[in-house]
Structure 1
């Protein structure tokens, strides 16, 4: 009898909790939230329950129990335009930069042509630092290291100004580099950028470089992209290098597929393949 009474008391005490859970699970769409985790993962769904130890979120994929200690923040979910999420890699085209800043405490990993790997992180609202390495040279014992710092400012609703440095070379040897300035008009889903820089290569003539690039979102998961460079040389005149293709996107990932056109070899090789991948964090 004593055991039965104890069980009955526990059941009665649990009724308010059960009732609260049921009530929480029927919250209105106004409680649609975005939960950002400390490791960079993001969950969108309806907030069912939240306490000091766990956060329970429900979406079309089911229920997720998240440890509260691993949650960075919870905010109301807002549908970003008609596509549901922004271009996840709006600070760069295939390779070259836009003037749009990365933003504080955000960043991305980027792989270019399988061998080149970069990480860029925003250390303030307008300043980012980054760098990377080339895989094959690293395996062979002569690693090529790269640095890619950048500053960017939004000066009007659809206007950004930026500048940065791209430099690299084998460790312990003199490297090559380029300082550049860039202006971007538009927003993450449709923009056009013009840039100019000065490429400095050891034992070679320094080259003024001009860039004209653009991006246009064509659907929820695909965008059209072009990136064009014009190198002015004293002997060979203007050399053109362009990349044209697509960006395939998800909430945090982008896959870039394109064709590289180089004026110097266009008669023999009309185009070369380009592939790239990036993931924001």
Structure 2
């Protein structure tokens, strides 16, 4: 699929979150630059030299990732394909067409460390946190997450109802940190991947699972159809975007341009883009968001990033 060539053009620079996350002005101009001096030195292998956009993949959990044989799909890969297409029309492109090369990892921490070290170029579907922002460079968000739990009916998901309970979480996730700081007297059982956490909920190893709302909702029917997604208001909300390594000049800029065009195309009723995105989080998916809900969020991102007017 070549979304960039057919998508409506979007003007963008940085959203409020991205402005903070990308506060180092030189991060995209110096190969191997870092947001923090404490992070390891990065590889200097440019995407344009290798022809490979090395993308971190953690597990096989909707709506961000779905594995079909050796191929991957999901909302993260809709975004990655848009970024790949943008790279392929860049003036910096050399003789190689750039393709996505999935880099499978066993945990969130392993994946983020590959970005920090330059062993991978990009990871999409990463929730923003201030702690991560110190050593990672974020793109524009393409989704909004919220920390909630899947719990047996009758448990309203509030701190009082979770006290004394065991809550499953993905190790080193934003949700794990938020819940640990919000619930005084809960025990936490850590899982390395989203797949492991969902399997534990399904087989009854844990009765309560905490995580991002989109992830929990997308997998609820297949994993715990009788559970409730609670509380009504999430413990915290955060933008979900991509994080990029300093391996490739202008990778951040081109990723932001690709995401902006993708969001702009959705808002402006591009049928192909709407079909792609809606298949993972829209009304026909297990997440079930309406076009208006998705379009309203995308409009906010675009309006914050740059001047944006919906095409009539």
TM-score w.r.t. length of structure 2: 0.22
Structure ID, larger Rg = 1
Q: Which has the higher helix share?
A: 2
TM-score w.r.t. length of structure 1: 0.24
Q: Which has the higher strand share?
A: 1
